[in-house]
Structure 1
Amino acid sequence: MRVGIVAESFLPNVNGVTNSVLRVLEHLKREGHEAMVVAPGARDFQDEIPDYLGFEIVRVPTVMVPLVDSLPIGVPTTTVAAALAGFKPDIIHLASPFVLGGAGAFAARQIGVPAVALYQTDVAGFATKYHLPMVANLAWEWTRTIHNMSEMTLAPSSSYIRELEAHGIKNVRHWGRGVDTELFNPAKRSEVLRRAWDPTGEKKIVGFIGRLAAEKSVHRLAPLVDDPSVQLVIVGGGPERDELEALLPTAVFTGPLGGEELARAYASLDLFVHTGEFETFCQAIQEAQASGVPTIGPRAGGPIDLIKHGENGLLLEVPTFEAELPDAARWVLDDARHADLQRAARASVENKTWAALGDQLLGYYSEVLDAYERNVVHLFGRDVALPRWAPARLGQPRRQARRDDTA
């Protein structure tokens, strides 16, 4: 199978979209498939990589958008359609489509290839957080257009499946995220690191790991800052770091971490608190759970599916999150139940491997390809391929079943 991926974000920018694309590419490589990625360029050309695991990365120019200054936005040029047409994919994978992915959706129709769109970013929710209600309404209209141009939409949580369907998006299916349970593991807990954060060795370590931006609402940790029994640790970078350092003067700010350093940071926490309500999935919660760390999150979006209230952590109502947080943290950190919560956190993700999720994704690809094949044969006969949106191509010879090309 040949998979053309149009990614709204990719290396060197590291975020949820990038990470899931990397895991998909790794699975495609293991299973012997071919892939190509169209993605935004880096702010510094020297940071770009020409390929990943031997799969070509085609870059488009980028622009910087106010309020999301660390995330380059890919410009939807004609490169998108040209690169995909040249690659001749069997299926097109749209990773969190909005700007560049929108061009990918149109290109899929132009070249007559089915598309699967992965909903990963709540753009409308972010717009609301940034006090742009008109942009939020337009974002939903555009999201509906892009996703309904695709044959299938994959959403990472039950709450967002319901929300997408409520906004008129069709054929929405569930596809979660895997987690690396070898990298993120309770065995990575480091007493040396904990002592560096808390020289007294007497405090409970409560942490947030993620992008320091408005939509993450990290300011909601403020009720814990004066608790003498708690040491706050903030891992990550972003445009709100300076403001948060002023708001949380006793917190330890590590900056962004990756790999083993990140794994040690997760495992060295006693409690992970995710504060933002616009997460379509929230991989950080899964990584904390894999590290044996109980979690607190908002009763909204992805965390609802990940946190089993009272078993591996707690869900707090969004309007009262800050008011509830101190008591919730004390409940989780109570020595009478903390060890049970730790064990339950790890157990809740042990079967959520990327290999299993990769196989599920390939199953969705096959389902889309089979349905697409049946529709084309039904409408135009077995020897003619004509996308129903492009009547000018009626009568052109059809290339034989795409999946046979790489058999």
Structure 2
Amino acid sequence: MRVAVVTESFLPRVNGVTNSVCRVLEHLERRGHEALIIAPGPGPEQYAGHRVACVPGIGLPGYSSFVLGLPTKAVERRLRAFEPDVVHLASPVALGAAGAHAARKLGVPSVAVWQTDIAGFARRYGFRGTDRAIWAWLRHVHRLADRTLVPSSASHRQLEEHGFPRLAMWRRGVDSERFHPGHRSEPLRAALAPNGEVMVGYVGRLAGDKRVEMLTSLADVPGVKLVIVGEGPAEQRLRTLLPQALFLGFLDGRRLSQAYACLDVFVHTGADETYCQAVQEAMASGVPVVAPASGGPLDLVEPERTGLLFAPDSRAELRAAVARLVQDADLRARWGAAGRAAVEHRTWNAVNDQLLDHYQEVCRARVQFGGAAIPIAGPRPGAAAGPGAAAA
């Protein structure tokens, strides 16, 4: 199969969209498929043996590390030359919209992947009154696709309410060997918390849309060492607000695995997460989770079993949830083990085989109907869809 992946974000920029696209490309290579990546530049020439075609991009004002790909005619030219069997649209907005229009023009089926709540993102950055226009544009883009894949039941409900057609579930996998309690390092813990404090940590982008300023409610919880992993435009302000916290910067590889496993409690603050891979990685690392009762974490965190959920805007509930876990080591151990058991079977191989099933289904439907663009029904939210469904 020849798969063209049109993505709004790719290496060297690291975020949820990039990470999931990389896992898909690696899986395509393992299964013997050929891919072309169309992404904002600058970037690598290839990844996992697949060619990368970069298009011009511009940094967003106030967030230059986020590069928006320009929807030029080069997208259609690249797709026409590659002759894909299917087009994968990763979090389509601008570049992805060009990919969706080009796929429709060329008669190639496309699968759009919902990964970012753009309307929520805009609200967090002060763009009030834009919701209606944003949702209208995104609905237009996704209507061009043969199927839209959503990562959580909350996202499914949200898109259904906004009139998005042909929705199906496709969750995210986790590397349960890379993220494992066995990476816990007592020497590292002793270095980070020399007085034996309970380590409470956040891992992710330090940005306004992640609402990281809510971490300030944990600044003076007794017996806690607050550890923050990541970088972003809100970092300097957060350092000022939390002078006693440990800022470890951007981590990857073994250093990230150890950082997760060394935590006693994982905290997430973002309320607009379509899935929240960081929560799943913390659970795989055997760490109990405190997260907002909103979006993706609703599917991931089982209250009173793998962690706690708090009202998204309540700093008091966030603080109380963390304080409860800080005071009870046995509870942390039980919930951490339960979290690990809940996600360790969700391998990337399983969920990406399910993605291949979605590709094949939209391709078969196009053949059956003579290449015409037709409505293609997706499975019900939570329903089985292919061999990877049980693991998703």
TM-score by length of 1: 0.90
Query: Is the Cα–Cα contact under 8 Å of residues 208 and 272 in structure 1 kept in the other structure?
Result: yes
Quote the residue 1:95 is aligned against.
Answer: 90
Q: Which has the higher Rg, Structure 1 or Structure 2?
A: 1
Quote the residue 2:346 is aligned against.
Answer: 352
Query: Is the Cα–Cα contact under 8 Å of residues 332 and 341 in structure 1 kept in the other structure?
Result: no
3-state DSSP of counterpart to 2:37: strand
Q: Does 1:270 align with 2:264?
A: yes
Query: Is the Cα–Cα contact under 8 Å of residues 118 and 155 in structure 1 kept in the other structure?
Result: yes
Query: Is the Cα–Cα contact under 8 Å of residues 91 and 115 in structure 1 kept in the other structure?
Result: yes
Q: Does 1:14 align with 2:14?
A: yes
Query: Is the Cα–Cα contact under 8 Å of residues 116 and 151 in structure 1 kept in the other structure?
Result: yes
Deviations 1:71-126 (A, max 9, x none): 11111111111111100000000000001101100110111101100000110001
Change (3 A) 1:274 1:386: closer
In structure 1, what is the Cα distance between the partners aligned to 2:60 and 2:133?
17
Q: Does 1:128 align with 2:123?
A: yes
Superposed displacement of residue 214, structure 1: 0.2
Q: Counterparts in 2 of 1:5-404, with a 5 A limit?
A: 5-42=5-42, 48-200=43-195, 202-320=196-314, 322-333=315-326, 334-376=328-370, 385=371
In structure 1, what is the Cα distance between the partners aligned to 2:372 and 2:245?
60
Deviations 1:340-373 (A, max 9, x none): 1111011011110000001100111111111122
In structure 2, what is the Cα distance between the partners aligned to 1:170 and 1:7?
21
Q: Which moved more, 1:67-76 or 1:226-235?
A: 67-76
Quote the residue 1:400 is aligned against.
Answer: none
3-state DSSP of counterpart to 1:279: coil
3-state DSSP of counterpart to 2:51: strand
In structure 2, what is the Cα distance between the partners aligned to 1:338 and 1:64?
41
In structure 2, what is the Cα distance between the partners aligned to 1:113 and 1:68?
34
Query: Is the Cα–Cα contact under 8 Å of residues 265 and 332 in structure 2 kept in the other structure?
Result: no
3-state DSSP of counterpart to 2:251: coil
**Partner amino acid, structure 2, of 1:251:** A
Query: Is the Cα–Cα contact under 8 Å of residues 87 and 110 in structure 2 kept in the other structure?
Result: yes
Number of equivalences: 374
Q: Which runs of 4+ in 1 moved over 4 A?
A: 385-388
In structure 1, what is the Cα distance between the partners aligned to 2:178 and 2:86?
31
Deviations 1:115-147 (A, max 9, x none): 100000110001111221233221111110010
Deviations 1:225-266 (A, max 9, x none): 112300000000000001001111110001100011100000
3-state DSSP of counterpart to 1:362: helix
Stretches of structure 1 that go unaligned for 5 or more consecutive residues are 43-47, 377-384, 389-407
3-state DSSP of counterpart to 2:363: helix
Superposed displacement of residue 192, structure 1: 1.7
3-state DSSP of counterpart to 2:247: strand
Deviations 1:279-319 (A, max 9, x none): 10000001101100010100111000000111000111113
In structure 2, what is the Cα distance between the partners aligned to 1:123 and 1:253?
28
Quote the residue 1:391 is aligned against.
Answer: none
